[in-house]
Amino acid sequence: MKIAYLDIFFGISGDMVLGALVDAGVDAAELTAELDKLNLDGWQLTFEKVRVGGLSATRATVSAPSHPHHHHASEEPEPHTHHGRRPSELVAILDASDLSDRVKQTCTRLIERLAEAEARAHGVTPDEVHFHEVGGLDTIIDLAGAVIGFELLGVGEIHSSPIPIAHGFVECAHGRLPVPVPAVVNLLQGVPTVPLDVAGETVTPTGAVIAIGLGSGFGLMPAMTFHSVGLGAGQKDFPEAANLLRIMVGEAADDHTAEPYHHDLQILIEANIDDMNPELYDPARQAIFDAGAVDCWFTPILMKKNRPAVKLSALAPPASAEAVAETIFQHTTTFGLRRTEIRRWCLHRETRQVDTAYGPVTAKLGLRDGRIITASPEFADCRRLADDQHVTVKAVYQAAAAAAADLLNPPEG
């Protein structure tokens, strides 16, 4: 199977994806011909070879009547007067187009996801969103172009590196917003990120929704044999590094050589505490989880002069690490924290419902190479059913564990 890897080492936007796809081998004329099936007037898509940071790349430029109020890393600011299009307007354009049903459905899903992120950011319903944050017609061209481009390359699966997060501020229709902008923050919930010490916006909402909505996972590049590599250039230059997106396209390795685990980057935050009321540990742990930690635990230790103490450990994605650290300072008596970057190997996770005599229970599944190798009941479900059925939690848990075990060794025949 042919796969693609989005190597987002600096940033990603819609036009950077289009440029990288053409640089990787998509025929620009064929891509434009497919986009003509949108049956729209007044837009233009051009490609040019450029050198950025000493590297050859392709820059895509989308010109459309409703240009965005908010210029992103891939765009230069332009005068504007249009209020922007609503999601339903863009979906109506797709529905009336001559594009394939698959492209229509995928683009509609991306638009809806983008609208939900913008709606949460501004406190409105999704259809009250006006796409002046990410453009109007240029948005649909970027999204449809990305979907069509991967299809023209014959890509069946897309993977992505963790998303780099820069800092600073950007001017937009709603005033001066922090980077990453709120819509991007909403899109990135649950997505691995890495810090990027760059002042300015490098990840746009359109770029983020392409990586998240089309991608099947985030982490290290999967095992593959390269067929082509493309570099897409943004229109804005940064002094820190080249504003480029790299897309690698190739054939996936055989199953026996492919990486069976999911990889991600986490920040381990630790503190040694010897002067805190033990009653405060439980509320502190809850606050740490609420701040974005994926795990938190306490270990008894001995400090100087054999003084009993507790080592607090919290594991957090890079995007949540500062919030978790601040929460630890607020809820404990520590004066300092240790910070270590670590990488995890994780089984791919799924959930499935299993039936018991007490009712259905959610089972958490760990998969490697598509095969279930561990399964465990969701304790909260077991406890709820035990309360409802007036039985012990142990009885429900044992029944659910037995049902989950059947998923590991399904009956033959």
For every residue of 292-304, DSSP letters joined together read T-SEEEEEEEE-G
Average pLDDT, the chain: 88
What pLDDT is stored for residue 229 in this prediction?
97
pLDDT for 69 beyond 50: no
- Residue range 312-352, pLDDT digits in tens: 999 998 878 889 999 999 999 999 999 998 888 888 888 88
**CATH number for region 262-345:** 3.30.70.1380
Q: Is the dihedral of CA 391, 394, 400, 405 positive or negative?
A: negative
* Distance, CA of 267 to CA of 244 (rounded, Å): 26
What pLDDT is stored for residue 216 in this prediction?
81
- Domain ranges in the chain are 2-252, 262-345, 348-408
What pLDDT is stored for residue 351 in this prediction?
84
Beta strand extents in 191-347 (DSSP E only):
193-199, 224-233, 244-252, 262-273, 295-302, 308-316, 338-346
Which tokens in the block code for residue 280? 């405060």
- Residue range 397-409, pLDDT digits in tens: 999 999 999 888 7
Q: Whole-model pTM? A: 0.61
* Distance, CA of 107 to CA of 235 (rounded, Å): 24
pLDDT for 258 beyond 60: no
The model's confidence at residue 64, banded by pLDDT at 50, 70 and 90, is low
Instruction: State mean pLDDT over 356-362.
Output: 93
3 state SS of 63:
strand
